Structure formats: C-alpha cells, structure tokens
Structure 1
Amino acid sequence: MLTFFHSPNSRSTAILSLIEEMGVQDRVERRLVSIPRVDGTGKVDPANPHPEGKVPCLVHEGQVITERGAIMIHLTTLFPGKLAPQVGTPEWGKFVSWMNWYQGVMEPVLICKAAGIEHPYLFAGLRGHDEVVARLRAGLETGPWIMGEEFTAADILLHSPYAWFRDFTPDEPLIEDWVARCMARPARERALEKETAMTAKLAA
C-alpha cells in the first residue's frame, strides 16, 4: 500500500505531476492534508505522518518517506519506465546525482536568494544562483531534457521552483524554453486541474 500525503500549491505538486506522468494514480492512495504556509495561513495536520508536518510525504507499508527527490527516486524504482533510467546503469548514477543536487544545492540556494541571505559560508558550501544557472545550462546543452533525449523525473523536480516563481527564471533562452516545455506537459496540466478541485475541498 502506498499513501501520498499532499497539500495543493506546495512542494508536493511535483509528486502529483510525477504520478500523473507515470500513470499510477490507481496504485497510490492520495490524502489531502493542511500545512503551515509562509503567509501565516494553514496549520500542521495531525493526520500527516511527516515528522515536521510538511509535504510531500509518502508512506509505503508503514515506512515514512520524505523529501521530493527521495520520493521520486522511490516511485520511479517501484514503477520502472521512461521517467528514470534503469537502476545500476551509468545513466542511473547521473539521474541520482541531479536529484540529490537539487535537494542539497539548488533548492537551498534559491531559498537563500528569495530571503535575501548572503554569506561567504553559504557560497563556499552551496555556491550561488549563478552557479546553479550555469549547471542547468550545461545540462540542457546536451538536451532537450536534463538527462538528454528523454523527459524524466529530474525535469519535473529541477524545473519546479521556476514554474512557481517565474521572476526567478534565469534570462537564459535554453532554460526558459525548458521550463515552458515542462510546464506544458499534459500530465502537469491534469495535476493542476486536480489541485483546483482539492483546493476547493480543503477550503470547504
């Protein structure tokens, strides 16, 4: 049994999109929960098993799995297909590198940028947004997708902050085009339509 704890318009939207892309909606039970928001709205939901009250959260036969990169790797391993390379191949190593780079570098850098936080320790440990942009651009130069010819879960994860915060999208045609193509995926559009219905349900 797989149970996905989700809150609309949050980090877990990327997981909803992945589930749509993979076509495994009938294999993953979805549960709607509330979360505390940056604007002060929302609250921790006691029904959410995430240890910090966040989303996404996936429960697989009693085991709690958190963090988008980890959940995406877990799901694409459980349901192998075109959304990730075969486990154990060199391409798999490249895929896992991108997923972990997002969690360990890209998202923290973007959060610091959004908060206006700068410090030599941050740059030394994580680098800055210019370096993030340079790495994305280098990856897409062999594109059209992050992994090359095939659209994967790495594209869903890495483009996601620019999809929500369009002002942060770099003035780089290669990246702008990639973000636009990711956002136009039919599976993402279906996920957003479902989120609209969920938002109404959560507000009721």
Structure 2
Amino acid sequence: MLTLFHAPRSRSTRIVTLLRELDAIDKVAVEIVDISRGDGSGRKDPKNPHPEGKVPLLDHDGVVIWESIAIIQYLTDLFPEKKMAPVAGDPQRGRYLSWLAWYAGVVEPVLIMQAAGISHSFVDFTFRSPAELAARLETALKDKPYLMGERYTAVDLLLHSPFAWYPAATPDSDAIKAWIERCRERPALQWTADYDDRTVVAA
C-alpha cells in the first residue's frame, strides 16, 4: 500500500500534482497532516511518521521515503506509463537525474538564502549565485520549451515550483518566465490547487 503524508499548500503539494500527472492519485492514500510553518502557524502532527514532522513523506508497505527528490524519482519509476521521467537505460536518464540533484543541491539553498538576504562569497562559491542559477536555467530553456526538451517531465514540475510559490525570486528572463507560465498551465496543477483548497476548508 502507498500512503502520502501531505500538508496542503506545502512542499508536498507538488507530489500530489505529480501523482495527478502520473494518473496515480487513486492508487495512493493521501493522509492529511499538519506541519509547523515558517509564519509560526501549524504544529508537529503526531499522525505524521516523519521524524522531523515535515512533508512530503511516502510510505510504501512500511518502507518510508522522504525528501521530494527521492519521492519524485521513486514515483516516476513506479508509474512509468506517463513518461514523466526517462526510464533506466534511456540515454537521457543521467541528464534528468542531474536536474533533480541540481534542484536539491543548488536551487533550494540559493533561493532560501536569497529570500533571507544572505550573501557571501563562500555561499556563491559552494552553491552558485542567483545570477548563475538564472543563467543555467536560461541557457537550458533558450531553444526548447522544457528542461528535457520538447516534453514536460517531473523536473519541470519540481524546478518551476519555487518560482510559482515565491514569484519575487523569478529571474528577469523571458525564456524562464515563459517556461514557468507553461508549467503553471498544466491541468494537474489546477486540479491540485482545487484539491488543497477543498482540503483546507474541510480541515
């Protein structure tokens, strides 16, 4: 059995969106939990098995998978039919995995430090500067609509998400802005927004 522990309007929202894209939402039990949020609201929910009280967390027959990157890779491997990721053996698999790792190792740290007003040469050297992050995305999207080419994949879902949540961080690039808008127009994203709205009201 698959169970996703989800807090509406949080990082786990993108996993619900992915499940919708994979046509697998009815194959996973979604357990709504509370979390402590940056604005001071919420709380650590005893129903949430995540040791730090965070989301997303995926439980598959008693084995837990945490961190968005691991869950995205796990689910796209488990449900390959919708081709949201290149399968093992595909020549593009390495490029896809590199984008996933780049998000965790570069994008989130850079955007969090940018939002916090932290700027230091050690930080830029280790993680990249916001300008370098923007340049990398702009180069990748210069001549194609999505990060893997002509097809929308889970890396687009993941990498556009912080800019959708925090528009002030969006680089001043027409190519990046157009890509974000293409990602935002996905029906699965609107479905998840409506789902989260209903879930919050029900709670």
TM range (shorter): over 0.9
Cα distance between partner residues in 1 of 2:31 and 2:59? 11
C-alpha root-mean-square deviation of aligned residues, in Å? Answer: 0.9
Aligned positions, number: 202
Return the offset for 1:88: 2.2
Percentage of pairs with the same residue: 48
* TM-score normalised by L of structure 1: 0.96
Code of the residue aligned with 2:134 in structure 1: it is V
Aligned to 1:73: 73
Counterpart code for 1:28: V
**1:125-145 alpha-carbon deviations (Å, 9 max, x no partner):** 101111111111111124210
The 5 A counterparts of 1:31-70 are 31-70=31-70
State the Cα deviation string for residues 76-98 of structure 1 (Å, max 9, x = none). 00011320012122211110100
Q: Which runs of 5+ in 1 are unaligned?
A: none
Residue type matched to 2:201 in 1? A
Three-state SS of the structure 1 residue aligned to 2:193 is helix
Matched ranges for 1:139-150 at <5 A: 139-150=140-151
Which letter does structure 1 place at the counterpart of 2:86?
P
Distance (Å, rounded) in 1 between the aligned partners of 2:141 and 2:2: 33
- Helix, strand or coil at the partner of 2:92: helix
Q: What is the identity, as a one-letter code, of the residue corresponding to 1:107? A: E
- The residue identity in structure 1 corresponding to 2:95 is K
**Contiguous gaps of at least 5 residues in structure 2:** none
User: 1:62, CA displacement in angstroms?
Assistant: 1.1
1:124 is aligned to 125
Amino acid at match of 2:108: E
Question: Where in structure 1 do 4 or more consecutive aligned residues deviate above 2 Å?
Answer: none
Who is 2:136 aligned against?
135
SS, match of residue 90 in structure 1:
coil
Q: Return the alpha-carbon distance in structure 1 between the equivalents of residues 200 and 144 of structure 2.
A: 35
TM-aligned CA deviation for residue 61 of structure 1: 1.3
1:185-196, aligned counterparts within 5 Å?
A: 185-196=186-197
Amino acid at match of 2:177: E
Other-structure match for 2:24: 24
Secondary structure of the residue that 1:15 maps to in structure 2? helix
Q: Secondary structure at the match of 1:48?
A: coil
TM-score relative to the length of structure 2: 0.97
Amino acid at match of 2:132: E
Structure 2 matches for 1:68-107, cutoff 5 A?
Answer: 68-81=68-81, 82-107=83-108
